[in-house]
Amino acid sequence: MATSSKGGFQTLPVTFSSETRSSHTLIFKEHNVREKDDLKPPSKTLFVVNVPPYCTEECLKRVFGDCGKVVKVWIQKTPSAAARPDAGTTTFFPNASPVTGFMVAYVVFLKENSVKRALALSVTEPRVLFPEGSPAASVGLAKWCNEYKSRFVNTEALQKEVDVFMAAYDKRHST
């Protein structure tokens, strides 16, 4: 079912779980840009669009894992040549806002031939994002409850993070 379409993109149907009858289509091709990035080497990276909001890095590793070892998955709101910044991000003071809604992803393989295998995929049944035994995504009421609970800050953890930051700041600026 992974078929060629316009612009060198391939399609791959996926379902949320094994009980789901309807499928969603991931659209992907080999990552190829003018600006090179060592974190997303073109010959080892797939560019995936139409990634649903409930799809995680682990889901994409499972879906493309039989093509070769997946080293890293970058999930972003929009395409970019550079990798998503993670440096300097803390629990309470993130540098980037969380990605919501439909996304794009970059699946980085260990070997170059893994991308070729992914582009040559021929599947008759949709791939399952959350198979039996894997932790399922938080959706619906459970997701809303988790989002509500996450609004409450753990004051002890916050104080510890602020203390560590201030100690590092004082150390840098004391000389």
Q: What is the CA radius of gyration of the chain?
A: 19
pLDDT of residue 151: 80
pLDDT of residue 20: 80
pLDDT in tens, the chain (175 residues): 555 556 788 888 888 888 888 889 999 988 887 777 778 888 899 999 999 988 889 999 999 998 999 999 989 888 876 655 555 567 767 666 677 789 999 999 999 899 898 888 887 788 888 877 666 666 677 767 777 887 888 889 889 999 999 999 999 898 6
Q: What's this model's pTM, rounded to 2 decimal places?
A: 0.72
Same domain, 108 and 150: no
Same domain, 97 and 18: yes
Q: Is residue 1 part of a domain?
A: no
Give the CA angle between residues 141, 145, 150 to the nearest 5°: 150
Same domain, 84 and 170: no
Three-class SS string for 17-35?
Answer: CCCCCCCEEEEEEECCCCC
Same domain, 39 and 120: yes
Q: Are strands 10-15 and 70-76 parallel, antiparallel or unpaired?
A: unpaired
Q: Which domain holds residue 24?
A: 6-135
